[in-house]
Amino acid sequence: MDAVTYAILLAGALAGGFVSGLAGFGTALMALGIWLYVLPPAIAVPLVLICSVSSQLSTLRSMWRLLDFKLALPFVAGGLAGMPIGALLVTRADPQTFKLSVGVMLLVFPAALYFIRTPMAFGFGGRPADAAVGFAGGILGGLAGLSGPLPTLWASVRGWTKDQRRGVFQIFNGSVLGAALCLQIASGFVKVEVFWLALLALPGTLVGAWLGMRAYQALSDRNFYDVVLALLFLSGAGLVWSSIAPS
């Protein structure tokens, strides 16, 4: 691995870990936007899963008091049901299409959240609706480690507080991404190369998660979301450009 590739790997790990520590999700949203410059999806996705689970575990002690297992249960149940479907789609992803699709998601998802400025607290659908959103998030989690976007948007509609969201995302993403990683390992999708890359990326992931946790504790509700949305949007813009720009 040359110096440029390693720098890109470390930058993705640091950015992904930071957003995960800050928001309880987002390793894939940030890291894939950087890693797909130098890694194919078949390598980048399991690497994201390893780093995602590692960042979740590293912040678990600090977040323990915020964890709401009752609130998270429908999301987790739906996510675990949808995750195997996403995992089966990994090997069929075309690199350019995959990059463009993820990039568009990173543009649309933060923009939609940004314009939801008026506080909402809809109870539409109750726990079955929560489970359905978790199911869709599970598919994206199994496919690309992107379990966080849909539940995050849904949480804005529900009108949860910052701590409620952070606690639920910690449980949901840790459960779904951990299960997705185990399934990919058992299915033989995770090659030895991925574990070596993970060893190189983990220091950046853990440092980023620690910094993100410190930032989370310092930010207000509004600042918390604005910072996350800005980072995600910039990552999406870069990824879309890389997929459509002339070679």
The answer to whether the predicted template modeling score (pTM) of the entire model surpasses 0.85 is no
Which residues are within 8 A (CB) of 200 and not within 5 positions of it... i.e. 6 or more apart? 1, 6, 9, 10
pLDDT over 70 at 117, yes or no = no
| Structure confidence by residue, pLDDT tens digits, 19-45 | 888 888 778 778 887 888 888 888 888
Residue 41 near residue 144 (C-beta atoms within 8 A): yes
219: phi then psi, degrees, rounded to nearest 5: -90, 150
Predicted confidence band at 60 (pLDDT cuts at 50, 70, 90)? confident
Residue 177 near residue 53 (C-beta atoms within 8 A): yes
Q: How far apart, in whole angstroms, are the C-alpha atoms of residue 59 and residue 143?
A: 24
Spell out the domain ranges in the chain.
3-244
| Structure confidence by residue, pLDDT tens digits, 83-109 | 888 877 766 767 677 778 777 877 887
